[in-house]
Amino acid sequence: ADRTDPALLRELIAAELIAARERTAQLTEAVDDAELVAQHSPLMSPLVWDLAHIGNQEELWLLRNIGGRDPMRPEIDPLYDAFEHPRSERPRLPLLPPAEARAYAHEVRGRVLDLLAASPLEGAPLLDAGFGFGMVAQHEQQHDETMLITHQLRSGPAVLDAPPPPAAAGGPLPAEVLVPAGPFTMGTDTEPWALDNERPAHRVDLPAYWLDSAPVSNGAYQRFIADGGYDDPRWWTPEGWAHRMSAGLVAPLFWRREGAQWLRRRFGHLEPVPEDEPVLHVSWYEADAYARWAGRRLPTEAEWEKAARHDPAADRSRRFPWGDAPPGPEHANLGQRHLRPAPVGAYPEGESPYGARQLIGDVWEWTSSDFTGYPGFSAWPYKEYSEVFFGPEYKVLRGGSFAVAPVACRGTFRNWDYPVRRQIFSGFRTARDAEPRTGGGS
Ligand code: AVJ
Ligand code: FE
């Protein structure tokens, strides 16, 4: 779409807002009111909180900050401020009941579409290229992923359904691909709806490395389990081992052993663990331990991004592994179109110039990197989006999962979480140095 034409940009924004709301509606209409207000896990908000929080953030950023309107219901603001109340306590707040939450979000949206029709899309940082509207569409889609995590955690019969993803295609992949030494441009100054932590663009020079051509599969992960990986402290960091012991980890979340077989619960269905699918619902500690068991390591965030974006022929960083075109269904498993990752080796059209697949979509990929600001980072438009989380306690995940919408996914997008977390749609791939880092005997 031509984003320089204001009429077309308005249409694109409206379409993104409407797409996000359709997904929100599906996730919040699939269960009854009792389940909307229930606490399915102390790690998650009740679904009805996400619903009104989506509307409240939209009101704040678009109607109040851009439109200059007065608050519609100032008394509810503290209820939906993510920093006021931890998720585990939100079920006990005097939240808007489901019908009121829906009506509030709907009312905000109607006023936002009116504002959009009358708004210039330049002349102020929140307006330029429609950034504020794009940020709000991404925010709603991020909560749609959060709500899908809540659905995965809820017990009871299945209420969501989607067709299966495409099969592996184009012949067997090599196990790993070589990324030669050299600089590339990490982050962006030009991506119009990139969030603050993706900026600014900067050059990063990397030694040569090998990267798995696809995410680690359930089959490979089962060999780690069968080889006693969860019982051998050699593979774990001290913090990881302490956590593995205290939390009693023996397999990815939602896995259960029945005889010789591993089963997994997925959105209300119990099924055998599919060997050819990327492993899902592992913590950073488990991913890191697997990599050490395999004689490898997690990639750094920069290594992930170079493999996903750098076009060595043009020495230029692309928006996506396949180029600059927005993700289509042929490129990547995104947008909750399928409610599971595609088998390892799917999406040949999404391959990067170095030959790596499924970098975008399927599973979030843990990296070895702590979440920090790039050189020259400046928080915008609010420091609670990412700056307050910078530091060694959060690890970066890259690439997006099947639950992430295209509008909230690109080669520069950064996610982060605690290394113990695994209710998220997290997997990983591994890497190794192409040459020894320090000189040794040969
Ligand atoms: C980027 C996924 C870590 O869910 O905490 C939603 C996104 N920020 N509302 C989160 C977010 C504010 C954020 N993550
Ligand atoms: Fe939020």
User: Cα(174) to centroid of ligand 2, in Å?
Assistant: 40
Q: Inform me whether the pLDDT recorded for 96 exceeds 90.
A: yes
User: Cα(383) to centroid of ligand 2, in Å?
Assistant: 13
Average pLDDT score over the chain: 97
pLDDT at res. 1: 64
Q: Residue positions in the annotated binding site for Fe cation?
A: 53, 139, 143
pTM of the model: 0.97
Q: Inform me whether the pLDDT recorded for 178 exceeds 60.
A: yes
The bound ligand whose nearest atom lies closest to the alpha carbon of 80 is 2
Atom 9 (ligand 1) nearest CA: 139
For the chain, how far is it from start to end, CA to CA, in angstroms? 55
Atom 12 (ligand 1) nearest CA: 385
Q: Inform me whether the pLDDT recorded for 343 exceeds 70.
A: yes
User: Cα(43) to centroid of ligand 1, in Å?
Assistant: 13
Atom 1 (ligand 1) nearest CA: 415
Q: Strand 209-212 vs strand 176-179: parallel, antiparallel, or unpaired?
A: antiparallel
Atom from ligand 1 closest to the CA of residue 417: 3
Q: Which strand (E) or helix (H) includes residue 317?
A: strand 316-317
Substitution site in 142, 144, 384, 396 for ligand 1 pocket (most atoms within 8 Å of beta carbon): 142
Q: 435 pLDDT band (50/70/90 cuts)?
A: confident
Q: Inform me whether the pLDDT recorded for 401 exceeds 80.
A: yes
Helix axis angle for 47-58 and 6-29, nearest 10°, is: 160
pLDDT tens for 11-57 read 999 999 999 999 999 999 999 999 999 999 999 999 999 999 999 99
pLDDT at res. 133: 98
Interacting residues of 76 by C-beta distance below 8 A, sequence separation 6+: 52, 56, 96, 104
Atom 8 (ligand 1) nearest CA: 385
pLDDT tens for 344-370 read 999 999 999 999 999 999 999 999 999
User: Cα(322) to centroid of ligand 2, in Å?
Assistant: 30
Atom from ligand 1 closest to the CA of residue 414: 1
Ligand 1 binding pocket (C-beta < 6 A) is 139, 142-143, 146, 385, 415-416
This complex has an ipTM of: 0.99
Substitution site in 50, 144, 146 for ligand 1 pocket (most atoms within 8 Å of beta carbon): 146
Atom 10 (ligand 1) nearest CA: 142
Give the 3-state secondary structure of residue 212. strand
Do residues 275 and 217 touch, judged by C-beta distance below 8 A? yes
Percent of the chain with pLDDT over 70: 98
Q: Inform me whether the pLDDT recorded for 439 exceeds 70.
A: no
What is the Cα 124 distance to its own chain's centre?
A: 29
Do residues 109 and 21 touch, judged by C-beta distance below 8 A? yes
Percent of the chain with pLDDT over 90: 97
Of 359, 345, 367, nearest in space to 409 by CA: 359
User: Cα(43) to centroid of ligand 2, in Å?
Assistant: 15
pLDDT at res. 441: 45
Single-letter code of the amino acid located at 106:
H
pLDDT at res. 78: 97
CA distance to 30, 81, 168, 303, 347, per residue, from 165 (Å): 21, 36, 10, 27, 10
DSSP state of 323: B
